[in-house]
Amino acid sequence: MTAPTQVRVFYRPEDLFEASAEELILTANAAVRTNGVFNVALSGGSTPKSLYALLASKPAGTIPWGETRFFFGDERHVPPDHRDSNYRMANEAMLSLVAVPKNVFRVPAEAKEATAAAEQYEHTLREAFRLEANQFPRFDLILLGLGPDGHTASLFPNTAALGEKSRLVVANWVEKFKTYRITLTLPVINNAAKILFLVSGKDKAPALSSIFTPTSDPNNFPAKWVMPTDGELLWFVTQDAAAELRTKGDASFQSE
């Protein structure tokens, strides 16, 4: 049964980063105690980058790095050393600074065809999670961001990937950028045990308000499609990003 949506509003970005780090650390250690491994999907963006840097600075033993498996929620169709690569950002901010030599599963986005990269990454997920043909992986935690247009991962407004029901990973054509983005699909995201949105900046306020407006169209604001089937949904947002929130619906709001 899905828990109610929780929204925590933070006055300072630093408070959001610290709370997010605490949430990840608690989730990681609980997963390792229960299953011996912590599976997390990372997000790109400036807000997660600050979180990753903070995690890398934590004292030894705080995070079970050796038992953590890092995946990616989405990736740009660029090589891993490209300045736009989500992998490069996460690697420079965190992964290269901690002991995770064999635990990082990046998207092979250097492939000439984005569809081939998506197919390869789906194969990686199926092997890593030992999935049957009709199963979806169950991540312990998926980190997500929110774009000013309401997109999350690389699920952009009114794009084909929003309707995907069976595949784990797709190459999603994004017309405004004239490029493909490789992304986890909604069935994978919504199968997670916990989903944590990290949202900061006043430019996100209109989109965030629309996400929590019952009458808004999810196809126009894809993050609204994120509704875990059997898990927790957490929104950690800064005060400026939450400035236009008016409709609470079933969400539980907490200011800090």
Q: For residue 156, is it within any domain?
A: yes
Digit-by-digit pLDDT tens for the chain (256 residues) are 566 789 999 999 999 999 999 999 999 999 999 999 999 999 998 889 999 999 999 999 999 999 999 999 999 999 999 999 999 999 999 999 998 768 999 999 999 999 999 999 999 999 999 999 999 999 999 999 999 999 999 999 999 999 999 999 999 999 999 999 999 999 999 999 999 999 999 999 999 999 999 999 999 999 999 999 999 999 999 999 999 986 455 566 677 7
Containing H/E element for 98? Answer: none
Task: Check which CATH number belongs to the domain holding 78 and give it.
Answer: 3.40.50.1360
Q: Which domain holds residue 179?
A: 6-229+241-255
Q: For residue 1, is it within any domain?
A: no
Q: For residue 10, is it within any domain?
A: yes
The count of structural domains within the chain is 1
For residue 233, what are the contacts with CB-CB under 8 A and spacing of at least 6? 2, 3, 5, 6, 195, 197, 226, 227
Q: For residue 235, is it within any domain?
A: no
Q: Is residue 112 packed enough to be buried (19+ CB in 10 Å), middle (13-18) or exposed (0-12)?
A: exposed
Question: What is the pTM assigned to this prediction?
Answer: 0.95
DSSP 225: G
How are the residues of the chain apportioned to helix, strand and coil, as percentages rounded to the nearest 5?
35, 20, 45
Q: For residue 165, is it within any domain?
A: yes
Q: For residue 74, is it within any domain?
A: yes
